Chain A
């Protein structure tokens, strides 16, 4: 009698030679995969713990400046070049992969206030405390040639910042007034003025190339149009903004780094209230730069730490700090979205990874799929308390920790006082002000 029974031919299940890969037949029936949810949860827990274990963001240090670093210049095409200016007027060009200084020269008497590259990357502009604007070539000078600027402009007023137009051969400087210069004219072609203010930072919009934004010392941010109109709008806040950066992907969004420990993301179409308030610094925020993807930005503050924020989130996703790193003056996010550079008061430029647990270098395909799987698991189980606790955990320096505690009690006390006031007064007299509206005084046209 013939009986049909399960019989497996081993040749169909075993590999033919030692050099082949193993055969892995699959059956996705859920009855063969018990405890799916629990096993995935355990894997997510392991993934999040490993991420913290491998979170070593510091890459290297660029040593060489004789005085504090004041500003950075981002080359629009080359990833390996960085230009930095310092408080003693020295400008240095660095080769980032080798972490070496390629070229250094004395550009100004006094601080180097700003550096901006021309859109073709062949030249860059530096402004200094000696009221001069100098244009330099990016390439090394030939043998026997001295370091000489290709062009020098002398301004009548103090200059605090510079920004180059994305397409046309003109750049804007800010200081006492906002002036727009062209490369072949010795005098500014346009001057913008709105009230009595001195401007700290100016920035051209990379997409809407005629828009210009500047931070003024009367706690306001002014938007200008370089076509005939001039200054368009002004938004006044409770405290002064130190720096400003446009989102490289969204034409109408910019973020400003404020003195009241927050960063504000504004939409130029509606300046009455910010899109998002980013709170996490415990001291004034002094530097900001966007990632080339436009989804994240990095900010450096007076509290000696670097914080990375995501576009729509109000709290930082990461903090970088070192005992040796003192007050940060400038930050830069590299154009390949991988590295963050920061310059500080103590003459060092530090290189960090943008994603602290990322593996640098070429990833093999199996590694890549494994890492992608871990990321997907972390997203899926990200709201579970244990997993989010581990993912959020960051070791924070003691001064920041104590300052955070203090700020938390201050905020709680303010909320409680407001709630008490509301409870003990006529309903409607104490209005509910959203966090976003609290920090804006008014908008002017």
Chain B
């Protein structure tokens, strides 16, 4: 299956060319990226909207406006699956579907950005601006620039290979640098001139090949040393048979990472969680001295109303609930969380959606219904 962003909307076709879907929620899309381990299609639109669509279940995970105007440049950081956008103010912003604000903003150049690329290990980011400069940044520490280069033309395309070679497309020339991130490179490794202007380029994953799309067609260039020689068959196998492909598809769907986990640092899940145990224990100790407050509320007798009416009982109940909510809130601030208070109501009245009850529904946290 592949997705094509056409003039208005995004269309999805299968490998036979049959149109499967027309996704009207994604309109005027300029860039699309596929997150393979999350099964998400991240798209950037002309009007500044970023959307993430879950391809496996067809649900729009997140869609919001970045308020940064037209999104010209977009890349994916393959290490942590955040979307990096380049803007005309020379800023690079990083976005995750969980947060409506950019995760980070880096001022890279004084001039509008022309192209952006991040290497496969998520260490280096190469940015090129219209003033013919190329800078290499450390994207994990968000620092830099590690290297700065002055090119002889504006770099309209950038691509990193699996082994860290950087291909720069300037007009109709492709230059490949072997190691421009760790040490300042003085000469390119390879240079190739095409007849027409370059459109887009990308390295082939496990081969020493760079595919270049130009106005005159598609060319593949041999760049020795750019591909990863030893692949891991359980990860991606170029020689997989049909049954192996089907098995790996099912396995990858089972291992699909939830979009809530997309953060700048993907190793957070294996770290120890703070608040520490001591804080929790201390909070529990504090709890023993706290008695749930006895609420004695006598409503003011306004203009001779009867005491036992329904309205009076209702106001009493509302005030009692408010006070109990405040008590729970103070406990939460103390870090205790939910205790064994029998009536823990939610502030917003959420109507229980009636969904068909499946076998795994019993693991979902139960939503407490509001009283009365």
Contact = CB atoms under 8 A, between A and B. Distances in A.
A408 B229 contact: no
B267 A3 contact: no
Interface residues of A, number: 44
Prevailing SS type, chain B contact patch: loop
B18 interface: no
A28 B257 CA distance: 21
A27 B232 contact: yes
B34 interface: no
A41 B258 CA distance: 10
Given A8-B238, A37-B269, A42-B257, 19 more contacts: A3-B222, A4-B224, A22-B244, A24-B234, A25-B230, A26-B232, A27-B232, A28-B232, A32-B235, A33-B235, A35-B81, A39-B255, A42-B255, A42-B256, A43-B254, A49-B360, A52-B363, A384-B269, A393-B362
B257 A6 contact: no
Interface in A357-395: 384, 389-390, 393, 395
A38 B239 contact: no
Interface in B248-271: 254-258, 261, 266-267, 269-270
Interface stretch (A135-143, A180-188, A274-282, A415-423): A415-423
Contacts of A423: 289
A46 interface: yes
Nearest to B223: A5
Interface in B105-156: 120-121
A38 B233 contact: no
Nearest to B228: A32
Given A4-B224, A42-B258, A24 B267 contact: no
B233 A23 contact: yes
Interface of A: 3-6, 8, 10, 13-14, 22-29, 31-35, 37-39, 41-43, 46, 49, 52-53, 384, 389-390, 393, 395, 408-409, 412, 415-416, 419-420, 423
B314 interface: no
B54 interface: no
Contacts of B230: 25, 27, 29
Interface in B14-42: 37
A77 to B, nearest CB: 42
A35 B257 contact: yes
Contacts of A53: 359-360
A32 B232 contact: yes
A38 B231 contact: no
Contact of A393 (B79, B231, B363): B363
Contacts of B78: 34
B241 interface: yes
Contacts of B237: 24
A6 B227 contact: yes
Contacts of B235: 27, 32-33
B288 interface: yes
A5 B224 contact: yes
A35 B288 contact: no
Nearest to B256: A42
Interface string B209-246: 00000000000001010011111111101110100100
Contact of A31 (B121, B238, B239): B121
A217 B219 CA distance: 93
B288 A415 contact: yes
